[in-house]
Amino acid sequence: MYLVRLIYTSRVSETFKSSDIEGILEVARGKNERNNVTGLLCFNRRFFLQCLEGSRAKVNQTYHQILNDPRHEEIVMLNYQEIISREFDRWNMGYMPESSLTYPINLKYSGTPEFDPYEMSGESAHQMMLALRDTVPIQ
Ligand SMILES: Cc1cc2nc3c(=O)[nH]c(=O)nc-3n(C[C@H](O)[C@H](O)[C@H](O)COP(=O)(O)O)c2cc1C
Protein backbone atom coordinates (compact mmCIF):
# COMPACT_ATOMS: atom_id res chain seq x y z
CA MET A 1 0.00 0.00 0.00
CA TYR A 2 1.56 3.24 -1.12
CA LEU A 3 1.60 6.32 1.06
CA VAL A 4 1.03 9.60 -0.72
CA ARG A 5 0.90 13.27 0.20
CA LEU A 6 -1.49 15.67 -1.50
CA ILE A 7 -1.46 19.44 -0.96
CA TYR A 8 -4.05 21.75 -2.43
CA THR A 9 -5.21 25.30 -2.00
CA SER A 10 -8.68 26.81 -2.46
CA ARG A 11 -10.62 29.92 -1.64
CA VAL A 12 -13.87 30.18 0.30
CA SER A 13 -17.01 30.32 -1.84
CA GLU A 14 -19.97 32.64 -1.40
CA THR A 15 -21.86 29.92 0.45
CA PHE A 16 -19.13 29.56 3.09
CA LYS A 17 -19.95 30.97 6.55
CA SER A 18 -17.21 31.45 9.15
CA SER A 19 -19.05 29.05 11.47
CA ASP A 20 -18.64 26.29 8.82
CA ILE A 21 -15.03 25.70 9.81
CA GLU A 22 -15.99 23.84 12.99
CA GLY A 23 -18.24 21.45 11.10
CA ILE A 24 -15.60 20.88 8.41
CA LEU A 25 -13.03 19.98 11.06
CA GLU A 26 -15.39 17.70 12.96
CA VAL A 27 -16.35 15.73 9.85
CA ALA A 28 -12.79 15.70 8.50
CA ARG A 29 -11.34 14.43 11.76
CA GLY A 30 -13.92 11.67 12.13
CA LYS A 31 -13.69 10.45 8.55
CA ASN A 32 -9.92 10.78 8.36
CA GLU A 33 -9.53 8.73 11.51
CA ARG A 34 -11.61 5.93 9.97
CA ASN A 35 -9.58 6.17 6.74
CA ASN A 36 -6.18 6.50 8.45
CA VAL A 37 -5.70 9.85 6.76
CA THR A 38 -3.60 12.47 8.55
CA GLY A 39 -2.74 16.07 7.73
CA LEU A 40 -2.97 19.77 8.37
CA LEU A 41 -5.46 22.47 7.38
CA CYS A 42 -4.35 26.12 7.30
CA PHE A 43 -7.02 28.78 6.98
CA ASN A 44 -7.08 32.60 7.07
CA ARG A 45 -10.79 33.20 6.33
CA ARG A 46 -10.06 33.61 2.60
CA PHE A 47 -7.84 30.71 1.62
CA PHE A 48 -7.49 27.08 2.59
CA LEU A 49 -4.23 25.19 2.33
CA GLN A 50 -4.53 21.51 3.19
CA CYS A 51 -2.14 18.59 3.30
CA LEU A 52 -3.56 15.06 3.23
CA GLU A 53 -1.43 11.96 3.74
CA GLY A 54 -2.35 8.30 3.78
CA SER A 55 -2.87 5.40 1.41
CA ARG A 56 -3.19 6.43 -2.22
CA ALA A 57 -6.74 5.08 -2.39
CA LYS A 58 -7.97 6.94 0.71
CA VAL A 59 -6.22 10.23 -0.07
CA ASN A 60 -7.63 10.20 -3.61
CA GLN A 61 -11.13 9.36 -2.34
CA THR A 62 -10.96 12.14 0.26
CA TYR A 63 -9.73 14.65 -2.32
CA HIS A 64 -12.59 13.79 -4.68
CA GLN A 65 -15.09 14.55 -1.91
CA ILE A 66 -13.30 17.78 -1.07
CA LEU A 67 -13.34 18.81 -4.76
CA ASN A 68 -17.14 18.54 -4.79
CA ASP A 69 -17.65 20.56 -1.62
CA PRO A 70 -19.54 23.81 -2.43
CA ARG A 71 -18.03 25.66 0.54
CA HIS A 72 -14.86 26.39 -1.43
CA GLU A 73 -13.79 26.92 -5.05
CA GLU A 74 -10.81 27.41 -7.40
CA ILE A 75 -9.21 24.30 -5.96
CA VAL A 76 -5.64 23.90 -7.20
CA MET A 77 -3.48 20.88 -6.48
CA LEU A 78 -0.01 22.08 -5.49
CA ASN A 79 1.74 18.83 -4.69
CA TYR A 80 1.08 15.11 -5.11
CA GLN A 81 3.83 12.72 -4.22
CA GLU A 82 4.53 9.19 -3.06
CA ILE A 83 6.12 9.40 0.38
CA ILE A 84 8.06 7.02 2.57
CA SER A 85 6.54 8.13 5.86
CA ARG A 86 3.98 10.57 7.23
CA GLU A 87 4.92 14.02 8.50
CA PHE A 88 1.62 15.01 10.17
CA ASP A 89 0.82 11.71 11.86
CA ARG A 90 -0.07 13.47 15.14
CA TRP A 91 -3.28 14.83 13.59
CA ASN A 92 -6.19 13.34 11.68
CA MET A 93 -6.60 16.96 10.70
CA GLY A 94 -4.52 19.54 12.53
CA TYR A 95 -5.88 23.07 12.31
CA MET A 96 -3.80 26.20 11.92
CA PRO A 97 -5.69 29.50 11.78
CA GLU A 98 -3.65 32.55 10.77
CA SER A 99 -2.05 34.37 13.69
CA SER A 100 0.82 36.78 14.27
CA LEU A 101 2.96 33.69 14.83
CA THR A 102 2.50 32.58 11.24
CA TYR A 103 3.58 35.86 9.53
CA PRO A 104 7.35 35.29 9.71
CA ILE A 105 6.83 31.75 8.41
CA ASN A 106 4.69 33.04 5.50
CA LEU A 107 7.42 35.55 4.68
CA LYS A 108 10.09 32.87 4.70
CA TYR A 109 8.23 30.72 2.13
CA SER A 110 6.47 33.32 -0.05
CA GLY A 111 6.85 36.85 -1.39
CA THR A 112 4.92 38.54 1.44
CA PRO A 113 3.97 37.90 5.09
CA GLU A 114 0.33 37.58 3.98
CA PHE A 115 -0.96 34.03 3.67
CA ASP A 116 -1.72 33.51 -0.04
CA PRO A 117 -1.02 29.91 -1.07
CA TYR A 118 -1.84 30.68 -4.73
CA GLU A 119 1.46 32.55 -4.79
CA MET A 120 3.42 29.57 -3.50
CA SER A 121 5.10 26.66 -5.23
CA GLY A 122 4.09 23.19 -4.10
CA GLU A 123 7.39 22.61 -2.38
CA SER A 124 7.29 25.98 -0.61
CA ALA A 125 3.79 25.15 0.62
CA HIS A 126 5.02 21.79 1.85
CA GLN A 127 8.04 23.28 3.62
CA MET A 128 5.90 26.02 5.16
CA MET A 129 3.53 23.45 6.64
CA LEU A 130 6.47 21.58 8.14
CA ALA A 131 7.76 24.84 9.64
CA LEU A 132 4.30 25.51 11.13
CA ARG A 133 4.23 22.00 12.53
CA ASP A 134 7.55 22.56 14.24
CA THR A 135 7.05 26.07 15.60
CA VAL A 136 3.38 26.90 16.16
CA PRO A 137 1.02 25.06 18.52
CA ILE A 138 -1.47 23.10 16.42
CA GLN A 139 -4.91 22.03 17.68
C1 LIG B 1 -11.54 23.02 3.16
C2 LIG B 1 -12.17 21.67 3.39
C3 LIG B 1 -11.41 20.64 3.91
C4 LIG B 1 -11.97 19.37 4.11
N5 LIG B 1 -11.19 18.36 4.59
C6 LIG B 1 -11.71 17.12 4.68
C7 LIG B 1 -10.89 16.03 5.10
O8 LIG B 1 -9.71 16.17 5.41
N9 LIG B 1 -11.47 14.80 5.16
C10 LIG B 1 -12.79 14.58 4.84
O11 LIG B 1 -13.25 13.45 4.93
N12 LIG B 1 -13.58 15.61 4.49
C13 LIG B 1 -13.07 16.86 4.40
N14 LIG B 1 -13.87 17.89 4.02
C15 LIG B 1 -15.32 17.64 3.87
C16 LIG B 1 -15.65 17.03 2.54
O17 LIG B 1 -15.59 18.02 1.54
C18 LIG B 1 -17.06 16.42 2.55
O19 LIG B 1 -17.97 17.39 3.04
C20 LIG B 1 -17.16 15.23 3.44
O21 LIG B 1 -16.09 14.35 3.22
C22 LIG B 1 -18.50 14.54 3.12
O23 LIG B 1 -18.68 13.49 3.98
P24 LIG B 1 -20.02 12.61 3.91
O25 LIG B 1 -20.33 12.37 2.47
O26 LIG B 1 -19.65 11.37 4.66
O27 LIG B 1 -21.05 13.44 4.60
C28 LIG B 1 -13.33 19.15 3.80
C29 LIG B 1 -14.09 20.21 3.29
C30 LIG B 1 -13.53 21.46 3.09
C31 LIG B 1 -14.36 22.58 2.54
State which amino acid sits at residue 102.
T
pLDDT digits 0-9 by tens, 51-90: 999 999 999 999 999 999 999 999 999 999 999 999 999 9
Which residue CA neighbors atom 19 of ligand 1 most closely? 69
Better-predicted residue by pLDDT, 54 or 2? 54
Phi, psi (deg, nearest 5) at residue 105: -75, -40
Q: Which residues line ligand 1 (CB under 6 A)?
A: 24, 27-28, 31-32, 41, 48, 50, 52, 62, 65-66, 69, 71-72, 93
In a domain, 125, yes or no: no
Q: Which atom of ligand 1 is nearest to the CA of 43?
A: 1
Q: What is the pTM of this model?
A: 0.96
CATH of the domain at 27: 3.30.70.100
- What size, in residues, is the chain? 139
**Is residue 35 domain-resident?**
yes
- The model's confidence at residue 31, banded by pLDDT at 50, 70 and 90, is very high
CA 95 to chain centre: 8
Domain that holds residue 75: 3-98
The whole-chain average pLDDT of the chain stands at 95
Query: CA-to-CA distance for 115 and 117, rounded, in angstroms?
Result: 6
Instruction: Say if residues 48 and 5 touch (Cβ distance below 8 Å).
Output: no
Judged against a pLDDT cut of 90, whether residue 101 lies above it is answered with no
